[in-house]
Amino acid sequence: GAVVSQHPSWVICKSGTSVKIECRSLDFQATTMFWYRQFPKQSLMLMATSNEGSKATYEQGVEKDKFLINHASLTLSTLTVTSAHPEDSSFYICSGRAGGGGDTQYFGPGTRLTVL
């Protein structure tokens, strides 16, 4: 149980284009979803937290107009990287947390974004 999927698993795009990454909780309802960015050989950096039906809360230094997050349902959140540039190339990982006060996050497999 507690499976989170991400799509696509990898994507290559041209500079200036936008890319959408989907995060789905397959067997539980994720009232809260988190988006992380991971640079090579480094830890995860939390980008934003989103609750279903609410606007996302972004961490300091993360541009909310560049990284658009939508949490339209209890099983789906999307991250759109707008006007992507090479410096946005990274490994993006989402996680979901079920309701009911539990604090365990279940992570997706990640999406490798490469911007040319």
Partner 1 sequence: GDSVTQMEGPVTLSEEAFLTINCTYTATGYPSLFWYVQYPGEGLQLLLKATKADDKGSNKGFEATYRKETTSFHLEKGSVQVSDSAVYFCALSGTSYGKLTFGQGTILTVHP
Phi then psi for 88, rounded to 5 degrees? -85, -10
| Residue located via tokens 């009232």 | 31
Distance CA 12, CA 14 (A): 7
| Beta carbon nearer to partner 1, 11 or 82 | 11
Map residue 87 onto helix, strand or coil: helix
Tokens of 13: 């795009």
Q: Among residue numbers 79 through 98, which ones bind partner 1 (CB under 8 A)?
A: 93, 95, 97
Confirm or reject binding of residue 108 to partner 1 (CB under 8 A): yes
Confirm or reject binding of residue 44 to partner 1 (CB under 8 A): yes
Q: With contacts defined by CB under 8 A, how many residues of the chain interact with partner 1?
A: 23
Q: Which of 42, 54, 73, 114 binds partner 1 (CB under 8 A)?
A: 42
Q: Which of 1, 14, 41, 100 binds partner 1 (CB under 8 A)?
A: 41
